[in-house]
Amino acid sequence: MSAREEHLVELVDETGKAHGEMTVAAAHQPPGQLHRAFSVLLVDPDGQVLLQRRAAIKTRFPLRWANSCCGHPQPGESLAEAANRRLREELGTGPVELTEVGVYVYYAEDPATGRVEFEYDHVLRGDFLPAAPLQPSPDEVAELRWADPAALEAELDLDPRSYAPWLGGVVNRLLHPSGATPGVPGSAVTPPGSSADDTAERSGGR
């Protein structure tokens, strides 16, 4: 088990209100505990989104194509801090300014590993600059590719087993921003040390 599986996550209700904490490993054991998470989509100037194929050693949905990076804020950690930490750990890039485009609540079971995803998922968009470095960690990422998000929606319908089951909801929030976070619709999530300038759904399988 990786050290990250022993990190704490924030348990929430279906409105996003926190009510406790638990380790990553425990929260993903059946039947699953609803907890706060985030999914980042990096978007280039042409509107393409960066996808990663999850590494084979992942404990949940290995070797599936997913969004640019995912993770869980630890209790007391802001979304900006957590998302930029994971961008650095997974992709060797960042920090970037992120904008929340919606929330996606879903439940997903991985038949291959027996783990469960039950997440209150903040969908975050970040603008990727072509000159920014990308140095993916082999422990996190098997490969990367860019995709047109509208075409990706069609691919998800045609070949769902190649993709992480949460990706459809994440892409939908990007294409149809909902501003679903109570009190902060479409809010900017600014990385630490930077200035602001520089619908619940269920899925059958994360």
Binding residues for Mg(2+): 90
Query: Which residues participate in the annotated binding site for Mn(2+)?
Result: 28, 35, 72, 117, 119
| Tally of CB atoms within 10 A around 27 | 24
- Locate the DSSP E strands across 113-176: 116-127, 141-147
d(CA 133, CA 84): 14
Q: Which bin fits 140, alpha (ψ -120 to 50), beta or left (φ > 0)? A: alpha
At 190, list the tokens.
């600014």
| Identified catalytic residue from 100, 109, 119, 140 | 119
| Identified catalytic residue from 10, 70, 109, 140 | 70
Catalytic residue at 70? yes
Q: Which residue has the tokens 């425990």?
A: 26
Q: Quick check: 173 and 67 in contact, CB under 8 A?
A: no
Query: Which residues participate in the annotated binding site?
Result: 28, 35, 72, 90, 117, 119
CA distances 101 to 51, 112, 175, Å, are 18, 31, 9
Q: List the catalytic residues.
A: 70, 119
